[in-house]
Structure 1
Amino acid sequence: MRKRWRYKLLKYFAIAGLITLVVILAFNSTIRPSLPKTPVPKELYDVISPSTYKFILNQPELCENRRPFLVLMIPLTLKDTEARTAIRRTWGQDGLIPLVTILHLFVIGQPAQSDPVLQEHLVRESKEYGDIIQMDFVDSYHNLTIKTMMIMNWIATYCQGAGYAMKIDADIFLNVHYLVDYLHEQSESSGKDYITGSVISDAVPNRDSFNKWYISEDLYPDSWYPPYVSGAAYVFSVDLARKISWASRFVQPIPLEDVYVGLCLHVLGVKPVYATKFLGFRNLFEVRRLKYERCTFAKHIIVNGFNPQNLIRIWHDFQKSYFTC
Structure 2
Amino acid sequence: MVLMRTFLLLLLLDFFLVLFCAQKKTPMKSSHIASWPKCQQNTSVANIPGFQTLPQHIKDFLYYRHCRHFPMLLDVPDKCGGADKSGEVFLLLVIKSSPGNYERREVLRKTWGEERLHNGVWIRRIFISGTTDSGFEKERLNKLLELEQREHNDILQWDFSDTFYNLTLKQILFLEWMERNCPNARFLLNGDDDVFANTDNMVEYLQGLKDNDGRQHLFTGHLIQNVGPIRGNNSKYYIPVQVHEADSYPPYCGGAGYLLSHYTALVIYKMSKSINLLPIDDVYMGMCLAKAGLGPVSHMGFKTAGLYIPSKKADLYDPCYYKDFLLVHRFLPARMYFMWHKIHDPNLKCGDSSNH
> Whole-Å Cα distance in 2 between the matches of residues 198 and 293 of structure 1?
22
CA 1:210–1:71 in 2, change beyond 3 Å: closer, same or farther?
A: same
Q: Which has the higher contact order (CA 8 A, sep 6+)?
A: 1
> Whole-Å Cα distance in 1 between the matches of residues 73 and 239 of structure 2?
31
SS at match of 2:188: strand
SS at match of 2:344: helix
Shift of 1:297: 0.8
CA 1:141–1:322 in 2, change beyond 3 Å: closer, same or farther?
A: farther
- The Cα RMSD (Å) is 2.2
What amino acid is the match of 2:253?
V
> Whole-Å Cα distance in 2 between the matches of residues 133 and 267 of structure 1?
28
1:53 aligns with 2:70: yes
> Whole-Å Cα distance in 2 between the matches of residues 301 and 89 of structure 1?
18
What amino acid is the match of 2:153?
G
TM-score normalised to the size of structure 2?
Answer: 0.73
The more displaced of 206-215 and 114-123 is 114-123
Match of 1:187 in 2: 210
What amino acid is the match of 1:82?
E
- The runs of at least 4 aligned residues of structure 1 exceeding 6 Å deviation read 43-46
Match of 2:23 in 1: none
Shift of 1:226: 0.6
> Whole-Å Cα distance in 2 between the matches of residues 322 and 224 of structure 1?
49
TM-score normalised to the size of structure 1?
Answer: 0.79
1:224 aligns with 2:248: yes
Match of 2:334 in 1: 309
Shift of 1:76: 0.9
Find the partner of 2:238 among 193, 210, 214. 214
SS at match of 1:161: coil
SS at match of 1:306: coil
Shift of 1:140: 0.5
SS at match of 2:118: coil
SS at match of 1:101: strand
Match of 1:37 in 2: none
CA 1:148–1:322 in 2, change beyond 3 Å: closer, same or farther?
A: farther
Find the partner of 2:94 among 53, 57, 73. 73
Q: Which runs of 5+ in 1 are unaligned?
A: 1-42, 276-282
SS at match of 1:191: coil
Shift of 1:320: 0.7
> Whole-Å Cα distance in 2 between the matches of residues 318 and 243 of structure 1?
35
The more displaced of 303-312 and 108-117 is 108-117
CA 1:287–1:117 in 2, change beyond 3 Å: closer, same or farther?
A: same
The more displaced of 82-91 and 250-259 is 250-259
Q: How does 1:89-108 map to 2 (within 5 A)?
A: 89-95=110-116, 97-108=118-129
Shift of 1:257: 0.6
> Whole-Å Cα distance in 2 between the matches of residues 143 and 320 of structure 1?
39
Shift of 1:191: 3.4
Q: Is the 8 A contact 1:156 1:238 kept in 2?
A: no
The more displaced of 78-87 and 238-247 is 238-247
* Count of paired positions: 276
Shift of 1:323: 7.9
Give per-residue Cα distances to partners, 1:228-280, cap 9 Å, x unaligned. Answer: 011000111112222212211222211111111111111111111111xxxxx
1:286 aligns with 2:303: yes
Q: How does 1:242-261 map to 2 (within 5 A)?
A: 242-261=266-285
Shift of 1:293: 2.2
CA 1:239–1:320 in 2, change beyond 3 Å: closer, same or farther?
A: same
CA 1:123–1:48 in 2, change beyond 3 Å: closer, same or farther?
A: farther
What amino acid is the match of 1:287?
T
Find the partner of 1:200 among 224, 236, 253. 224
SS at match of 1:84: helix
Shift of 1:49: 5.6
SS at match of 2:116: coil
If you compute each CA radius of gyration, which structure gives the higher value, 1 or 2?
2
1:272 aligns with 2:296: yes
Q: Is the 8 A contact 2:220 2:258 kept in 1?
A: yes
Q: Is the 8 A contact 2:224 2:252 kept in 1?
A: yes
> Whole-Å Cα distance in 2 between the matches of residues 119 and 318 of structure 1?
35
Q: Which runs of 5+ in 2 are unaligned?
A: 1-44, 46-61, 308-315, 351-356
Q: Is the 8 A contact 1:48 1:149 kept in 2?
A: no
Q: Is the 8 A contact 2:66 2:276 kept in 1?
A: no
Find the partner of 2:160 among 102, 122, 137. 137
Shift of 1:45: 11
> Whole-Å Cα distance in 2 between the matches of residues 217 and 119 of structure 1?
36
CA 1:113–1:294 in 2, change beyond 3 Å: closer, same or farther?
A: same
The alignment-based identity, stated in percent, is 30
What amino acid is the match of 1:160?
P
SS at match of 1:208: coil
Give per-residue Cα distances to partners, 1:153-212, cap 9 Å, x unaligned. Answer: 222221112100111111100111211111111121463221111111121211111111
> Whole-Å Cα distance in 1 between the matches of residues 174 and 210 of structure 2?
26
Find the partner of 2:192 among 128, 150, 169. 169
Give per-residue Cα distances to partners, 1:289-317, cap 9 Å, x unaligned. Answer: 33222222122100111111111112121
Q: Is the 8 A contact 2:116 2:124 kept in 1?
A: no
Match of 1:13 in 2: none
> Whole-Å Cα distance in 2 between the matches of residues 48 and 136 of structure 1?
16
